């Protein structure tokens, strides 16, 4: 059983709602009702602050909202020194009651060199101070490209681990850590005290690792159906002080069936 009945993550297991982005676009209320009925306790939103429909639907069905991915250029490429767009996002997050905001991605132009990563880290650190003052934790969500070596053999992750201030944290995505050629549980342990949230995913066998480009749609699998064992990740998360764990499946021919299947696996049904 991946989540024992007394496991803290099971009691508050989340779903990154991006998994159901197409369904949410068609029927937000009905989709979030299905998320709650599947046994998920919280939803991690995406596209914040343009998420009013998700906010209302989540509250209507009793899904907690603790975290959201947001429009990352407000931090990565701010239009002014005061990061006015990010400040507006912080105000909106406070009104919703969010405790976490997560940078979900870096465009290719922002990650070509180690210096690009250093510039991003500098902006993240500035934004993390502003977030902390608002009572919100800022974090960065990884993919696999951060493990690709740049000049001098340094990786983007090397830069972030070195340059991020104590106020700036990580949201570790187990799938992409594995795709990048690393062990997710060991990686979380290495970042003890610096990881606030974890994404639980599974990876189909057969992908040559490490892999830094896009992956086939069927590489994303329901929990328990791939090569990433969930137990060690949950154990590492507890040891590292991770606050929330969210299931996510970027691609699926039937996302609602997928999230139900992953929940059954987590509960050992």
- Per-residue pLDDT of 193-216, as tens digits, reads 999 999 999 999 999 999 999 999
* Token pair 């070509």 in the structure block, residue: 112
Beta 202-203 vs 195-200: how paired, if at all? unpaired
Residues 6+ apart with CB under 8 A from 90: 101, 130, 131, 134, 136
Strand partners, 45: 68
Question: What's the alpha-carbon Rg for the chain, to the nearest Å?
Answer: 18
CA 134, chain centre distance (Å): 21
The 8-class DSSP code of residue 26 comes to: H
Kindly list the structural domains of the chain, giving each domain's residue range(s) and its CATH number in brackets, ordered by start. Answer: 8-267 (3.20.20.150)
At residue 3, the pLDDT reads: 67
Query: How confident is the model over 119-141, as a mean pLDDT?
Result: 98
Q: What is this structure's pTM?
A: 0.96
**pLDDT above 70 (res 117):** yes
Q: Which of 86, 88, 115, 80 is nearest to 103 (CA)?
A: 86
Q: Which 3 state secondary structure label does DSSP give 205?
A: coil
At residue 269, the pLDDT reads: 60
40-92 residue pLDDT tens: 999 999 999 999 999 999 999 999 999 999 999 999 999 999 999 999 999 99
At residue 22, the pLDDT reads: 98
């Amino acid at each position: 059983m991946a989540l024992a009945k007394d496991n803290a993550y099971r009691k508050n297991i989340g779903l990154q709602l991006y998994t159901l982005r197409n369904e949410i676009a068609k029927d937000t209320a009905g989709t979030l009702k299905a998320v709650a009925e599947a046994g998920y306790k919280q939803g991690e939103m995406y596209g914040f602050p343009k998420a009013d429909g998700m906010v209302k639907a989540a509250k209507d069905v009793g899904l907690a909202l603790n975290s959201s991915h947001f429009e990352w250029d407000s931090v990565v490429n701010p239009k002014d020194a005061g990061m006015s767009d990010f400040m507006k996002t912080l105000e909106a997050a406070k009104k919703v009651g969010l405790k976490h905001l997560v940078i979900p991605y870096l465009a290719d132009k922002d990650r070509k060199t180690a210096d690009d990563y250093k510039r991003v880290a500098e902006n993240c650190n500035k934004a993390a101070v502003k977030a902390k003052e608002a009572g919100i934790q800022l974090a960065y969500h990884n993919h696999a490209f951060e493990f690709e070596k740049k000049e001098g053999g340094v990786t983007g992750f090397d830069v972030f681990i070195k340059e991020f201030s104590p106020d700036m944290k990580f949201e570790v995505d187990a799938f992409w850590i594995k795709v990048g050629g690393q062990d997710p549980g060991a990686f979380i342990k290495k970042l003890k005290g610096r990881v606030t949230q974890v994404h639980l995913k599974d990876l189909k066998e057969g992908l040559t690792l490490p892999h830094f480009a896009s992956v086939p749609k069927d590489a994303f699998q329901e929990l328990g159906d791939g090569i990433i064992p969930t137990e060690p990740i949950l154990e590492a998360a507890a040891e590292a002080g991770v606050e929330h764990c969210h299931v996510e499946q970027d691609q699926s021919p039937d996302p609602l069936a997928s999230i139900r299947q992953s929940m059954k696996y987590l509960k050992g049904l």
